[in-house]
Structure 1
Amino acid sequence: MPRFTSVVPDIVDRRMLKAAGLASLAFLPSPGLAQSDGNDVNPDDDIVVIAEFPRGSVVTDIPPVLELDAGDIDSFGASSVEDLLEAISSQTSSSRGRGSGRPVVLINGQRTSGFREVRDLPPEAIKNVQVFPEELAVQYGFRPDQRVINFILKEDYTGFSLEAEAGLPERGGQTYQEYESNLTRIGKNSRINLNLEYEQNGAITEAERGIVQDDAGAAVDLGQFRTLAPAEKTLEFNGNYSRTFENGTALSVNGDYKFEQSRALRGLAGASLAVPASSPFAVSPADETVERFFPELGALRRRVETHTGQAGFALNGTVSDWRWSLTGEYVYTREDTDTDQSGDTGALQAAVDAGTVDPFADGIGSLLGPGRTDRARSVSRDIDTQATASGTLFMLPAGPLTTTLRGGYDRNSLDSRDITDGIVTRNKLSRDIFSTGINIDIPLADENIDVKDAIGELSINGNLGYSELSDFGGLVEFGFGLNWEPLNGLVFSATAIGEDAAPEITQLGNPLIVTPNVTVFDFTNGETVLVDITTGGNFALPAEKRRDIKLAANYRPEWLDDLTLLAEYNRTNSTNVASSFPLLTPEIEAAFPDRVTRDGTGQLIAIDRRPVSYSTVRSDNIRYGFTFSKRFGQRRGNRPGGRPRRERGPNADETPPPGSESRSAGRPQQNARPGGRGGRPGGRRPGGRWRVTLYHTVNLEDRILIRPGVQELDLLDGSATGSDGGTPRHKFELSGGWFNKGIGFRVRGEHVSSTRVDGGLTGSDLRFSDLTTLNLRMFVNLNDRGNLTEKVKFLQNSRIALRIDNLFDDIQTVRDASGVVPLSYQPGFVDPVGRYFEISFRKRF
């Protein structure tokens, strides 16, 4: 028996090296094998197994849910990573239902300083994309409710691009413009990415969408003075630089500045005037109340300006066979909000009472007191640092026991000031967070061949963390999971997590802002009214406890390439949940009577929508679906970014492809799992391809107990927390695309089933129809379309794209028990944009 020797780790025992040596024999040329008589191998010779692995892949036993190579990426016609993520959002969003936001992003298997570091990279610079489920996040020191996306970049790329976009809704009333320039240069040891972007969006007024006003509003055409969508402007610069040093350590730095401006119209100054029956101008034999608006005073406005500055860094390296990282980020945000309010009505009411002013006459707005402007400013400063180290603790019969250690320090501060009716209120909050945690992965059946042959690959993992918050004390998080691959391509996983979570500092201390004349449907009286809405922070919010369970199955059948089947069950259970104020149904009003203001006649006049706390929130859902893609017009080959098929046992016919490393040859010292779930080296020649993805989510339970003694809300059966109704029982997500010879089509669709909201014994029920939206994107790469670019040199390396959102112009219909659409649920309120068209031109230099 020859002796096998590895040039990588010396911790690999002879059994593992033996398996690696057997696998390496498959890479010898077959003619040579045919000519060999078996006497060429000396039993005393050493066979050296050289460990190689796909560059930039991720070391993990968790299989990806999606893998894309460069050709796949091109077929999406995206302009940036942000556009690409939007195109595959159905496969990158977490199904746990906690709304955790963007997934975790890695570059070449390494942590980044944040999403801004990868957001503006052009798709042409990306070699492969791998999307992993939430279970991988803890291995990189993140929360276990975010999916992980690894971008493997090309080793040599230089590009400069300009892009212009213009769009407008089919109904008009708004124009959109965007201009963007991008410079990217990637070398063997460095990377630079600079992006400058400007965009502006016009306003949409109620008059432009034909919103029906009440009698008082119709008299002055109030819709001209109220916007459904504000006018907005945004200017942003983002810069990134990365360098890898001779010792393998990589440093990346990021800087970003963003300015946002919003202008909205909030209606007219108005007054509710009591007209006594004794007035010489009375039109009724009884006392009455008259609602008046005064266009001569001009529109009330809401102005918001936001400045955001960010700086971050990421340092990644290896020590022995351990991978370590240090990341840090500082974010400064200042938001200024000015809200116009009506003046005092005392003098005008006194004149009406005296009979000297006709309350129905024009031009009496001059008798109002001077209007005022309430001002609010919030300044937040956030520091986020974290250090992680991952590596092998020791070897088990089934393989290496690996761990991830993390520790971090965060500081959040919020200074807010609001001036309401001349009264100044200041809040100053800060929070220091020291955190630490550990994640352990234990293989039970993998490299111990006999066990693996019997039950397949099996591993378990666990994580434990602790955070000390200066304002909330200690918070604990824990979790454990199991990954089992009984057959090649079939993977089962189970995860249970528990954690304590403090409310965001903005939920506690945001400045108080009162917005007048907001259109609201009053379920109690069954009518649409204009009310004052109060927003801000709530210092009384407690810490939340979360307990989640996830079961998943991922299947990639060997008999049908490029098909992935996925099924997931998610159960969440939380107590003391901080939430935005829910839709004001009779159930909610009974639970929060102090948040609602009504006048003597019972008419709704104000709602305090500052955050609230729910006693218990429970939800269960099942999500299942598939992704299927095919290529045509090209020669088949090994798919980049995939996983090699592996038979069980040393006598397997299939072996890892060249350039990969058997797991039995030891762990590499970089961010790749060679020959495993990190990627399939190789590629396919350019050609056409199509892809379709379909997911169906069934919500089994969604309940909220606001507090003991109050009726529990069933969001699947008549209760609601949002203005768009309860939780739909069914949700379908569809995405697909076709690309060939420079022409591409891409669709994204979503369908949600209908819901209802019960108005109670004295209130009005509402029925929300089902909703189907389909977005279409078509693009042409002009280089691939004949000799046009030879005739017009400027068009070389350019692309024209057309985008249509809400292709069917489907808008959710809301009706009350009598079949009438309430004024606050007119189509213009529900969806002011509707069908939307946009054209873009992008050129690379």
Structure 2
Amino acid sequence: MISSPRSLLASSPVILASMLLATPAAAQISDTESEYADEEIVVTAEFTRGAVVTEIAPVVELSEEDIASFGASSVQDLLEAISSQTTSSRGRGSGRPIVLINGQRTSGFREIRDLPPEAIRTVQVFPEELALQYGYRPDQRVINFVLKDNYTGVSASAEYGVPTRGAQGRSELETTITRIGKNSRVNINLEWQNNTAITESERNIIQDAAGELVDLGNFRTLVAPSDNVELNANYSRAFDNGMSLSLNGGYVYDKSRGLQGLPSGTLTVAGDPLFRYFTEYGPLTRVQETNTAQAGLTLNGTLSDWRWSLTSDYTRTQVNTDTDRSGDVGLLQAAIDAGSVDPLATSFGPLLGAPVTDTARVVDQTINNLATLSGTLLVLPSGAVTTTVRAGYNREDLDSRETRGAIVTTTGLSRDELSTGINIDIPLADENIDVVEAIGKLSVNGNLGYSDLSDFGGLVEFGFGLNWEPVDGLVFSASAIGEDAAPSIAQLGNPVIITPDVTVFDFTNGESVLAAITTGGNFSLPAEKQRDIKLAVNYRPEWLDGFTFLGEYFRNNSDNVASSFPLLTPEIEAAFPDRVTRDASGRLVAIDRRPVNYANVSSERIRYGIDFSKRFGQERGGGRGGADGASRRPAAEAPKREPQGDKPADGAAPEGSAEARPAAPRGGRGAGGRPSGGRWQLSAYHTIRLEDRIKIRDGLDELDLLDGSAVGSTGGSPRHEFEINGGWFNNGIGFRLDGKHQTATRVNGGLTGSDLRFSDLTTFNLRMFINLDDRGNLTENIPFLKGSRIAFKVDNIFDDIQTIRDGNGLIPLSYQPGFVDPVGRYVEIDFRKRF
């Protein structure tokens, strides 16, 4: 049997090129066609090294030229630049994508974070549905980094930035060593950062009457000074038997030192209260020191025609917090009552108690282990049915110790989690050519999982989906997922910390006050039930190279949702009256902001947008495989399975296997050499929120976050959000511009004049850079500049800060611009050199 032309061309584009370029060979095939008419011809496509084995099309692909056009110093910088395409819109999880290297699982983002962009050949971004095939939750996008086969580099960079309003400096030094060989990879990164403080006086924060008397703004920080040191090391090795090993280790030290104002107290003078600040002991401070140690291991390999992986990750985080609070005023009050002390004196000596320091220490240790096995379950006329089976064991230990006065409180929580799950992908129309020609390619998938938590019992997850490609380049997908989710043990058992004199807005009285804020854990939180639906369309037209349209619809619905304490509006205070403390006059004095539980949270939104990129200034070749063309995945391999030889060194599936097809990386320049010519790129996305509601409990009105309700200090949910980013790069010079806009919102305060209106917000960030190697003979005249790049960055170009006004058009003290955004416009210069 001879495959149809459609099947032959789809299975191996190389065959078509060979036929066009070698006419005699084509004639020979024609002459011998009848001789083999009764035999089956098997066509196998070459497996692209580092490709992801999947039927799911990527939503974004970046070639070497694309990557160079971003001017990024590391993978982390690159992902920040394309965050609008890599962040999941499902509304679940952290939004951070899953990371693969050469199509294989990793122990985490740390394995790829510090690699130089020059070491990467291709970046592919896949939708959330691919996460299931690698044993992850379906609420994260997947990014595959295809590395170059041979790269060695040492780089160092220095950055310094300041807000244009002054008062703060940010410094950073970083060095990276990278070596990538055919079978091994080493990457070591060391980074140091320092941020200086921004005080309230440096942003002209208006104080209350008592604060004005002592210049309180000099003793309160809006941005605490901090120091940060990070060390990250990675090693990877591929073996001849197809197995690969990756090891990762890292350490992070962070320390911040915030000022919390001056000690204060309320004195009684002639029967009337007198609130005042005391200057004897200087400012109250809050010092937080964090030490984080991390280690990871990943094993990938093959077992017959199946691919297996094992990942293990350990993290230990210790956070020490020292918080000062005002001392005792009992002796001072007694002296005032006796008439021996003037209550307005500037100093009271030993009569005023010294500040007291509360301490809290939290040690959080987690170990996550996951094993997956993926391969072809059976082969149908429509193609290969693939499956991924996973099993995992996780453990978390949380130990905390809090000292407040003479009272010591300790908490010890632990959680063991055993999990298992399966995902199956079934092609209904793929290799059965007649069906494909009639309806296009069609596949369905399903997943089922179960977890047993030592402190919560059994939790179930399930989901199913559909992918349909009626014509080349147009893909429709639909998925529905359900999951039971337990609150984290940090939400349950974090130590109780009370921070005094935090500026908050009291909607009930329509005023800004200083209140004590309590944070910590809540043991009464139940398990959450999640039910989500996603519909999506991805279109890459044949007639417009480099253009992609993406449209997505999401609906999320959850019961028993654990959440941080919301903004204290009158409706929130009515729902949680035991979390609010007021004095005899009704003035707000304290809020307990430990986590709360919502009966139901539902949201509905649409997100759509385009990505468009083009190259210019060079000869174009290679057809649509070029960097400016929309990539095309090789079609499914021949249905007949051939004997398999050795696996590739990187542990990928064997060439010609009957597994799902690889998503091939884009073409572009070959190994070596700098990018020639230039390119431009533009992406734009629009999100429309159709619904955003919270039901706290039965008997209470729902909170409509699109119509006057709010749970955060930034107001309700904006109806519309816009994202745009684009760039231009040519001959070593490039710039990128990204912007975000959200529409205005409002919060109903319940009293005349206490409503708040939050203005719309538009921010644009600009990054310009120049690669000095590409600027004529500059590096020949100044050899030190060889391999160097200078970058200039401006965040929030127009210094736009959201304006919040009450019903009278006035800005509440707690919403002064310095509180809303103390940094504002920020400029930075970066010098990077490769050795």
Partner residue, 1:752:
742
CA distance in 2, matches of 1:16, 1:174: 63
CA distance in 2, matches of 1:269, 1:811: 31
Q: Secondary structure at the match of 2:491?
A: helix
CA distance in 1, matches of 2:632, 2:220: 61
In the TM superposition, 1:107-506 aligns within 5 A as: 107-276=101-270, 287-364=271-348, 366-506=350-490
Partner residue, 1:734:
724
**Contact conserved, 1:477 with 1:500, CA < 8 A, in 2?**
yes
Which amino acid counterpart does residue 843 of structure 1 have in structure 2? K
CA distance in 2, matches of 1:465, 1:233: 42
Q: 5+ unaligned residues in a row in structure 1: which ranges?
A: 5-12, 277-286, 647-655
Deviation at residue 53 of structure 1 after TM alignment: 1.7
Deviation at residue 356 of structure 1 after TM alignment: 2.2
Partner residue, 1:714:
704
CA distance in 1, matches of 2:169, 2:34: 77
Which amino acid counterpart does residue 134 of structure 1 have in structure 2? E
Deviation at residue 699 of structure 1 after TM alignment: 0.5
For the pair 1:791 / 2:781, whether they are aligned, the reply is yes
Deviation at residue 681 of structure 1 after TM alignment: 4.5
Deviation at residue 687 of structure 1 after TM alignment: 1.4
Partner residue, 2:800:
810
CA deviation digits over 1:368-414, x for unaligned, max 9?
22221000000011010000000001011110000000000000000
In the TM superposition, 1:53-68 aligns within 5 A as: 53-68=47-62
**Contact conserved, 2:62 with 2:666, CA < 8 A, in 1?**
no
CA distance in 2, matches of 1:717, 1:644: 44
For the pair 1:639 / 2:636, whether they are aligned, the reply is no
**Contact conserved, 1:24 with 1:49, CA < 8 A, in 2?**
no
Q: Secondary structure at the match of 1:783?
A: helix
C-alpha distance 73-644 of structure 1, shift in aligned 2 (>3 A): closer
**Contact conserved, 2:533 with 2:554, CA < 8 A, in 1?**
yes
**Contact conserved, 1:52 with 1:674, CA < 8 A, in 2?**
no
Q: Secondary structure at the match of 1:443?
A: strand
**Contact conserved, 1:798 with 1:841, CA < 8 A, in 2?**
yes
CA distance in 2, matches of 1:454, 1:666: 26
CA distance in 2, matches of 1:753, 1:47: 60
Which amino acid counterpart does residue 739 of structure 1 have in structure 2? F
**Contact conserved, 2:44 with 2:638, CA < 8 A, in 1?**
no
CA distance in 1, matches of 2:5, 2:30: 22
Which amino acid counterpart does residue 686 of structure 2 have in structure 1? H
Partner residue, 1:72:
66
CA distance in 2, matches of 1:67, 1:41: 40
Deviation at residue 93 of structure 1 after TM alignment: 0.4
**Contact conserved, 1:642 with 1:679, CA < 8 A, in 2?**
no
Q: Secondary structure at the match of 1:39?
A: helix
CA distance in 2, matches of 1:541, 1:598: 26
**Contact conserved, 1:643 with 1:677, CA < 8 A, in 2?**
no
**Contact conserved, 1:404 with 1:440, CA < 8 A, in 2?**
yes
Which amino acid counterpart does residue 523 of structure 2 have in structure 1? F
Q: 5+ unaligned residues in a row in structure 2: which ranges?
A: none
CA deviation digits over 1:559-615, x for unaligned, max 9?
101000010000000011011001111011101111110000000001111111111
Q: Which one of the candidate residues 91, 94, 103 is aligned to 2:97?
A: 103
Partner residue, 1:679:
665
For the pair 1:699 / 2:683, whether they are aligned, the reply is no
Which amino acid counterpart does residue 388 of structure 1 have in structure 2? T
CA distance in 2, matches of 1:434, 1:413: 15
Q: Secondary structure at the match of 1:145?
A: coil
For the pair 1:589 / 2:570, whether they are aligned, the reply is no
Deviation at residue 39 of structure 1 after TM alignment: 2.2
Deviation at residue 354 of structure 1 after TM alignment: 2.5
Q: Which one of the candidate residues 555, 562, 571 is aligned to 1:571?
A: 555
Partner residue, 1:771:
761
- Give me the TM-score of the superposition, normalised by structure 1: 0.93
Q: Secondary structure at the match of 1:38?
A: helix
Deviation at residue 18 of structure 1 after TM alignment: 11
Which amino acid counterpart does residue 195 of structure 1 have in structure 2? N
Q: Secondary structure at the match of 1:468?
A: strand
Deviation at residue 416 of structure 1 after TM alignment: 0.3
Partner residue, 2:23:
31
**Contact conserved, 2:631 with 2:665, CA < 8 A, in 1?**
yes
**Contact conserved, 1:475 with 1:499, CA < 8 A, in 2?**
yes
**Contact conserved, 1:525 with 1:763, CA < 8 A, in 2?**
no
Deviation at residue 361 of structure 1 after TM alignment: 2.0
**Contact conserved, 1:249 with 1:317, CA < 8 A, in 2?**
yes
Length, aligned pairs only? 814
Which amino acid counterpart does residue 802 of structure 2 have in structure 1? Q
What is the aligned-residue RMSD (CA, Å)?
2.2
Q: Secondary structure at the match of 1:575?
A: strand
Deviation at residue 32 of structure 1 after TM alignment: 2.4
C-alpha distance 194-542 of structure 1, shift in aligned 2 (>3 A): same
C-alpha distance 791-584 of structure 1, shift in aligned 2 (>3 A): same
For the pair 1:844 / 2:834, whether they are aligned, the reply is yes
Partner residue, 2:603:
619
Deviation at residue 38 of structure 1 after TM alignment: 3.3
CA deviation digits over 1:320-377, x for unaligned, max 9?
1111000001101100000011101111122222222222221136422222100000
CA distance in 1, matches of 2:12, 2:824: 63
CA distance in 2, matches of 1:421, 1:82: 43
**Contact conserved, 2:42 with 2:640, CA < 8 A, in 1?**
no
C-alpha distance 125-781 of structure 1, shift in aligned 2 (>3 A): same
C-alpha distance 679-209 of structure 1, shift in aligned 2 (>3 A): same
Q: Secondary structure at the match of 1:102?
A: coil
Partner residue, 1:605:
589
Which amino acid counterpart does residue 760 of structure 1 have in structure 2? G
CA distance in 1, matches of 2:13, 2:227: 63
Which amino acid counterpart does residue 137 of structure 2 have in structure 1? R
Which amino acid counterpart does residue 18 of structure 2 have in structure 1? F
Which amino acid counterpart does residue 834 of structure 1 have in structure 2? G
CA distance in 2, matches of 1:663, 1:644: 21
CA distance in 2, matches of 1:724, 1:663: 56
- Segments of 4+ moved more than 4 angstroms: 13-23, 33-37, 45-48, 640-646, 660-669, 671-676, 680-685
Which amino acid counterpart does residue 626 of structure 2 have in structure 1? R
Partner residue, 1:782:
772
CA deviation digits over 1:454-490, x for unaligned, max 9?
1000000000000000000000000000000001100
